[in-house]
Structure 1
Amino acid sequence: MSATIFSNDSRVIFNDQAYLELNNLLADHRYSKLFLLVDQNTHQHCLSSFLGKLDKEHEFEIIEIPAGEAHKQIETCSQVWAAISELGGDRKSLLINLGGGVVTDLGGFVAATYMRGIEFINIPTSLLAMVDASVGGKTGVDLGPLKNQVGVFTEPLMVLVDVEYLKTLPPNELRSGLAEMLKHGLICDKNYWEQLSEMDKLDPSALQDLIYRSVEIKNQVIKQDPKESGLRKILNFGHTLGHAIESYFLEQPDKTTLLHGEAIAIGMIMESYLSVHLTGLSQEKLEQIKDVFSNYYPSQEISSEELESIIELMRFDKKNNNGKVNFALLKDIAKPIWDINADNELIHRALEYYKK
């Protein structure tokens, strides 16, 4: 599948067509400066491949940031803003973000705010970034351990999806992206959920059509609700608990840092349990969901005391209003509902179910 997906003011272009469009853009636009943002990993594993796809040698100023969620902070933005400024960046500059979700989220925010906005292009290199950060125009950084607390909605000029980059990823990074794909099935497409549930293994070369479908699903939701005032909240299924779990593990020195998808997988199991008790999801569907996620993701140890700290972190969730924590839950597979409240006792029972 290689058809372009049009997303509000942006477009997602796949594989060889993506480089054709990029080469045409660079030839037609006389950008004053070309900046290329990478992290340590994409500098090593993806940069030479990317540069080799360009028609001619363009003069890029390469800016490298440290890899990992811990560096998705305003301090890193300050360093990138300073680098662009020192290298002569102006409003006619272009920033290309080559990396996973940290690079594309942070790079998009840097571009949106440098001199009140310069054009940027995202080239996601992780499965998570391809299926999650590729559409929607969300940019931003974390505030300490709190996920994506600072940011703006700004669309990239285009997003280039090249599945060849997936071959550079370790298995846990592929599984992290799969969690968002499974979520897309659970909230929107029962057949897609079942297709992903029955996969024997995660083979990058077999993922192209599945990635396309995930981007398509997310785009259909976002086009109806660009600023997350209603329907778009369904994309947060698993994220209210999942983000808080991810933040908690990130700030605990004795805990192994969880990848985004690993934390969201826990969130989806627990929020499916809430769905049984609050929105009518069947026990049978809950067991199926738990079985699928348990096949892909190892269980994590979370105590009741730790859950209290996680619940406290949920207070900072951006979907809350009037002090109430709002969940997106399931009435059934592909039948989501949003703005549902759950009390702490039920959340503790959801943890016990997860740990069983």
Structure 2
Amino acid sequence: MQTIQANNYQVFFNENGYTYLNAILDVKSYSKIFIIADENTSNYCLPRLLSLLATEIEIEIIELEAGEEHKNIETCLQVWHSLTELGGDRKSIVLNLGGGVITDIGGFIACTFKRGIDFINIPTTLLAMVDASIGGKNGVDLGNLKNQIGIIREPKAVIIDTQFLETLPGEQMRSGFAEMLKHGLIFDKNYWNKLKNISNLNTDDLDTLIYQSIEIKNNIVSQDLTENGIRKALNFGHTLGHAIESYFLENDEKKSLLHGEAIAVGMILESYISKEKALISSEEYHEIKYVLSDIYDAVSFNEKDIENCINLLIYDKKNEFGNVQFALLDKIGNCKINESSTNELIYSAFSDYKS
């Protein structure tokens, strides 16, 4: 597959990625290589990466605990101390080997250590490949609030190695697939039509579909790196989805949801709001609801859950002057940003979801 050109970096695929990686390590003469991984990618992905690195530069492995609950400033402090104790300097480079948590927090750590050192994202999950590693967003959660602290700074490169997907359980693949479905809904109806017939897809299709998803996200981000306009479209399903994800993460009585599981619910709810605002037809809404409900298990909400999720909306990053803003569908394949909704309409969306 051809390399994708982003604003200030490139996205490389499979063997081309390692050719680039070894070349830049040679040319830039880095003082030290730090690989940030979690306990899962250390076991399942790190051996492959190390076997493909052709360099004499000293390599240090920094292993983090896996999970969204560790994507916080406390983890950053630990890693900053480790980088310092292991001799990291401004000529060091960080390789982020992992899913969205690792690429988010690893990028943030690199951007802030010594006022910024180079980093390369090597995503190992479908979610990270099509979403988290692309576009320059780096950051951590503030308590249970998603991605409240961060910086937009692009990596030196992103390397997509789809062999890593062979290590993933099915629920992690479905989590990433939600972002691909979102790309079709907001940007490309033909792409949505390909994805919605998931039973007809095979592994040979996956590389091509991943490539198309990255192209869509890169197309949007390249027009609006700092999210002042069209990039907000990528938040479709995320205004309510992030609130749901945060609420389930902090509530000991609830089983935490994977990101894509929460976003799938968010997309159904926000599609309902789109329908009620006459942006999409009833037929389009029911198609979206049917497709997503067929792929993702239903999530149970009681009245208290719904109230708490709605209360969390005030912390959404897109809000301006205290107003909650949504990215809503404007027919399948298009999106409208900076849309509002009443709490009554949100409650109705939850009610319809439960029906």
TM-score, length basis structure 2: 0.98
Change (3 A) 1:175 1:57: farther
**Distance (Å, rounded) in 1 between the aligned partners of 2:203 and 2:125:** 11
Partner of 1:159: 158
Partner of 1:234: 233
**Distance (Å, rounded) in 2 between the aligned partners of 1:254 and 1:223:** 41
Q: Which runs of 4+ in 1 moved over 3 A?
A: 201-206
**Distance (Å, rounded) in 1 between the aligned partners of 2:201 and 2:111:** 35
Partner of 2:189: 190
Partner of 2:261: 262
**Distance (Å, rounded) in 1 between the aligned partners of 2:145 and 2:101:** 14
**Distance (Å, rounded) in 2 between the aligned partners of 1:160 and 1:30:** 20
TM-superposed CA distance for 1:206, in Å, is 3.3
Post-superposition Cα deviations, 1:27-69, rounded to whole Å, max 9, x if no partner, equal 2121111100000000010000111112356531000000000
**Distance (Å, rounded) in 2 between the aligned partners of 1:204 and 1:110:** 34
Which secondary structure does the structure 1 equivalent of 2:152 belong to?
coil
TM-superposed CA distance for 1:71, in Å, is 0.3
TM-superposed CA distance for 1:126, in Å, is 0.3
Post-superposition Cα deviations, 1:327-348, rounded to whole Å, max 9, x if no partner, equal 0001200121011111111101
Partner of 2:281: 282
Check conservation: 1:134, 1:215, Cα contact below 8 A: no
**Distance (Å, rounded) in 2 between the aligned partners of 1:91 and 1:57:** 18
Partner of 1:39: 38
Check conservation: 2:31, 2:57, Cα contact below 8 A: no
Partner of 1:116: 115
**Distance (Å, rounded) in 1 between the aligned partners of 2:258 and 2:48:** 25
Q: Are 2:326 and 1:327 aligned?
A: yes
Partner of 1:210: 209
Which secondary structure does the structure 1 equivalent of 2:337 belong to?
strand
Check conservation: 1:328, 1:336, Cα contact below 8 A: yes
What is the RMSD computed on CA atoms of the aligned residues?
Answer: 1.1
The residue type equivalent to 1:19 in the other structure is Y
**Distance (Å, rounded) in 1 between the aligned partners of 2:316 and 2:234:** 14
Change (3 A) 1:49 1:152: same
Partner of 2:252: 253
Instruction: Map 1:85-100; keep pairs closer than 5 Å.
Output: 85-100=84-99
Post-superposition Cα deviations, 1:246-284, rounded to whole Å, max 9, x if no partner, equal 000000111111000000000000000000111421000
The residue type equivalent to 1:206 in the other structure is D
**Distance (Å, rounded) in 2 between the aligned partners of 1:76 and 1:203:** 38
Instruction: Map 1:21-170; keep pairs closer than 5 Å.
Output: 21-56=20-55, 58-170=57-169
Which secondary structure does the structure 2 equivalent of 1:135 belong to?
coil
Check conservation: 1:163, 1:205, Cα contact below 8 A: no
The residue type equivalent to 1:200 in the other structure is S
The residue type equivalent to 1:321 in the other structure is E
Partner of 2:219: 220
Which secondary structure does the structure 2 equivalent of 1:112 belong to?
helix
**Distance (Å, rounded) in 1 between the aligned partners of 2:202 and 2:83:** 38
How many residues align? The count is 355
Partner of 2:17: 18
Post-superposition Cα deviations, 1:198-250, rounded to whole Å, max 9, x if no partner, equal 12177555310000000000111111111000111100000000000000000
More divergent stretch after superposition (97-106 vs 128-137): 128-137
Percent of aligned pairs with the same amino acid: 54
Which secondary structure does the structure 1 equivalent of 2:327 belong to?
strand
**Distance (Å, rounded) in 2 between the aligned partners of 1:46 and 1:230:** 37
The residue type equivalent to 1:158 in the other structure is A
**Distance (Å, rounded) in 1 between the aligned partners of 2:20 and 2:201:** 29
**Distance (Å, rounded) in 2 between the aligned partners of 1:202 and 1:269:** 23
Change (3 A) 1:294 1:266: same
TM-superposed CA distance for 1:134, in Å, is 2.6
Post-superposition Cα deviations, 1:118-137, rounded to whole Å, max 9, x if no partner, equal 00000000000000023210
More divergent stretch after superposition (138-147 vs 192-201): 192-201
TM-superposed CA distance for 1:289, in Å, is 0.2
The residue type equivalent to 2:198 in the other structure is M
Check conservation: 2:32, 2:57, Cα contact below 8 A: no
The residue type equivalent to 2:131 in the other structure is D
Which secondary structure does the structure 2 equivalent of 1:105 belong to?
helix
Post-superposition Cα deviations, 1:266-314, rounded to whole Å, max 9, x if no partner, equal 0000000000111421000000001110111000101122111101111
Which secondary structure does the structure 1 equivalent of 2:279 belong to?
coil
Check conservation: 1:73, 1:142, Cα contact below 8 A: yes
**Distance (Å, rounded) in 2 between the aligned partners of 1:72 and 1:47:** 20
The residue type equivalent to 1:135 in the other structure is I
Which secondary structure does the structure 2 equivalent of 1:55 belong to?
coil
TM-score, length basis structure 1: 0.98
